[in-house]
Amino acid sequence: MLSPLAGKEVPKSNLVNVPALISAYYEQKPDMTVNEQQVSFGTSGHRGSAVKKSFNEAHIFAITQALCEYKKEMGYESVLYIGKDTHALSTPVQISAIRICIANGIHVAVAKNDAYTPTPLISFAILEHNKKRDEHADGVVITSSHNPPEDGGFKYNPPNGGPADTDVTAVIEKRANEILQNGLKDVKKVSYQEALDSGHLHYYDFITPYVESLSEIVDIKVIKNAKLKMAAHPLGGSSIGVYQKIKEYYHLDMEIIHPYADFTFSFMSADHDGKIRMDCSSVYAMASLVKLKDNYDLAFANDTDADRHGIVTPKGGLINPNHYLSVAIWYLFTHRKNFTQDLKIGKTLVSSSMIERIGASLGIEVYEVPVGFKWFSDGLFEGKLAFGGEESAGASFLRNNATVWTTDKDGMVMTLLAAEIMVVTGKDIAEIYAEFEEKFGASYYARIDAPATQEQKKILKNLDTGKLSLCTLGTEKIEKIITHASGNGAAIGGLKIVTQNSWIAMRPSGTEDIYKIYAESFISKEHLEKIQQEAQSIMQTLFS
């Protein structure tokens, strides 16, 4: 149900109480008999709320200690890069993590001048470090991504630079909960002052090497020469300093909107449910930027850790993420001479099937994986995937010479790529996608979120398809029912049903008490609604 606040300014009475939030982080203690208060790594690390006792200093002490033990067990003795976004809890979390790392004898690198660091810059730093040395640097990103201001998050990136896979996070999660259960007795820690004086804490310029290398992945020169008038909106996030450096270094005509952090994010318009959420793919959260679409040739935004992108054009408004992924893939494989047919397109199983149709027309294999960018990391690292993208507006791709750039999502190269595409093709992103619909058919795509208990989420995650007696979906014959992705064979944690011209997928959220129904039809909007209704009926049957 759409909130009356959707797309509007949030009342001051609804803003997060930052002092109370930070106090809760330090003072509230989790109850380990409550599942929701234990450490749980979803698709992007451990996330939670200090006031709900799911993201407190005790959690960070335990997770960081578990991580330090894991690093030593794996022989990762090089530096640990730590970055943070602009959520209110991120700085307290960074201080807590540093105290534990230093006590365990680990060298830590953080941003100079206490700056904020986007997720892709951590991935970039790890890869550049390990490329030049026979070492195993890794990293931590302190972020809850686009989540509301009161949330916190902690994500680990191993030496391949991407989000840790489940075999890693399961070890860290299990050990962290053991440490919490044992009253933090196994945690080694020093005071913050001792950490500062230890010689193990180092300050690093994450921004400059990244910005200076951008010409190796995007044609910045063609953007500059076209004098494209652009607007970058960091949504009060960690990309503020990066866009400032990009503008200065490349002399681009780019206005940076709201170039400062605000822990309450009071400048944001409310998302669909009335909450503040820095979701650059939401037309409601992005309402203020969409209003400016006619003032610029191109406007764009990123979430707080800059791993997601939102593209706004004069003719298309806020471009649907699936539409832009389709355009970006087509453009890269038709305009990068080193993007040859032996490379693959990476997509999540809930991303639009328009991508398969484009891939088939280009003779490029599509590699479909479960939700989570971690499934693309190895492919990008090894140069087997030219592109990896998620329907939630997260993607990255290879450099012009087809070598690795980042193995985590990079919302900033995706925004700059949009500028290159518009200059080189002379077309609006929306115009290019419209041509795809003429050639391959129109896609009708939507996602529905519904409340789910822990037990219902468990049922969906461990589904036995043998209990389903289905032959048709929306009058079409069902071609396949899958619980494992076709690309890598990994469990999808849910269900996908596919016909010739449509599909539905149901999966539980890894961070919220909801399940999600994704659906796409290449027949009609009415057909989309029909298969959505059938998906809901299937869910009711499973939960009954």
Per-residue pLDDT of 54-69, as tens digits, reads 999 999 999 999 999 9
What pLDDT sits at residue 480?
Answer: 92
Backbone angles phi, psi at 318, to 5 degrees: -75, 115
272-312 per-position pLDDT tens digit: 999 999 999 999 999 999 999 999 999 999 999 999 999 99
How high is the mean pLDDT of the chain? 95
How many CB atoms within 10 Å of residue 410? 29
Q: Tell me: pLDDT of 249 over 90.
A: yes
Element containing residue 247 per DSSP (H, E): helix 240-250
333 vs 42: CA distance, rounded Å: 32
- Rounded distance, CA 472 to CA 25, Å? 50
Structural contact between residues 234 and 241, judged by C-beta atoms closer than 8 angstroms: no
Question: Residue 9 forms beta bridges with which residues?
Answer: 269
Domain count, the chain: 2
Asked if 46 and 180 touch (Cβ cutoff 8 Å), the reply is no
Q: Can 145 be counted among the known catalytic residues?
A: yes
Q: Which helix (H) or strand (E) holds 422?
A: helix 411-425
**In 3-state terms, what secondary structure has residue 402?**
coil
Q: Which of 123, 144, 145, 352 is catalytic?
A: 145
**CATH at residue 537:** 3.30.310.50
Is 522 a member of any domain? yes
Whether residue 41 has pLDDT greater than 70: yes
514 band by pLDDT with thresholds 50, 70 and 90: confident
Distances in Å between the Cα of 157 and the Cα atoms of 348, 377, 497 are: 20, 10, 32
Per residue in 310-325, pLDDT (tens digit) is 999 999 999 999 999 9
User: Partners of 269 in the beta sheet?
Assistant: 9
Q: Which residues pair with 255 in a beta bridge?
A: 231
Q: Is residue 113 part of a domain?
A: yes
* Token pair belonging to 374: 């971690």
Whole-number pLDDT of residue 456: 84
Give the C-alpha separation, 236 to 391, whole Å: 23
**Could you tell me if 380 and 396 are in contact, meaning their C-beta atoms sit under 8 angstroms apart?**
yes
Phi-psi region of 114 (alpha: psi -120 to 50; beta: other; left: phi over 0): left
Task: Specify the 3-state DSSP secondary structure of 30.
Answer: coil
In this model, does residue 513 exceed pLDDT 80? Answer: no
Find where tokens 């681009």 sit: 252
Q: Give domain status of residue 9, yes or no.
A: no
Spell out the residues 6+ positions from residue 435 whose beta carbon is closer than 8 angstroms to its own.
Answer: none
Per-residue pLDDT reduced to its tens digit, 489-505: 999 989 999 999 999 99
More confident call, 42 vs 305:
305
Sign of torsion, CA 145 149 151 156? positive
Instruction: Tell whether the model's pLDDT for residue 544 goes beyond 80.
Output: no
In this model, does residue 76 exceed pLDDT 90?
Answer: yes
Query: Do 369 and 487 touch, CB atoms closer than 8 A?
Result: yes
Q: Give the domain-ending residue among 160, 193, 208.
A: 208
Decide: 204 and 113 in contact? Cβ < 8 Å. Answer: no
> Within a domain: residue 489?
yes
Q: Domain boundary residue among 169, 185, 208?
A: 208
In a domain, 472, yes or no: yes
Q: Is the dihedral of CA 109, 112, 118, 123 positive or negative?
A: negative
Q: Is the pLDDT of residue 185 over 80?
A: yes
> What pLDDT score does 469 carry?
79
Domain boundary among 173, 208, 243: 208
* pLDDT higher than threshold 90 for residue 461: no
Transcribe 276-324 into DSSP letters: ----TT-TTTTHHHHTTGGGSSEEEEE-TTS-BEEEEETTTEE--HHHH
For the segment 202-236, what is each residue's pLDDT rounded down to a tens digit? 999 999 999 999 999 999 999 999 999 999 999 99
Query: Mean of the pLDDT values across residues 496-522?
Result: 90
Q: Which domain holds residue 522?
A: 444-543
Q: Give, in order, the Cα–Cα distances in Å from 323 to each of 168, 241, 299, 436.
A: 33, 28, 16, 9
Sheet containing 385-390, strands listed edge to edge, beginning at the edge strand earlier in sequence: 366-369, 344-348, 385-390, 394-397
Phi, then psi, of 504 in degrees rounded to 5 = -130, 150
> Residue 149 maps to which CATH number?
3.40.120.10
Domain-embedded: residue 269: no
Residue 428 forms part of a structural domain = no
Assess contact for 338 and 374: CB atoms under 8 A.
no
Reported as a single tens digit per residue, the pLDDT across 5-35 is: 999 999 999 999 999 999 999 999 999 999 9
Predicted confidence (pLDDT) per residue in 96-139, tens digit: 999 999 999 999 999 999 999 999 999 999 999 999 877 899 99
Residue 483 domain-assigned (yes or no): yes
pTM of the full structure:
0.95
**Residue corresponding to tokens 């970039």:** 124
pLDDT attached to residue 511: 63
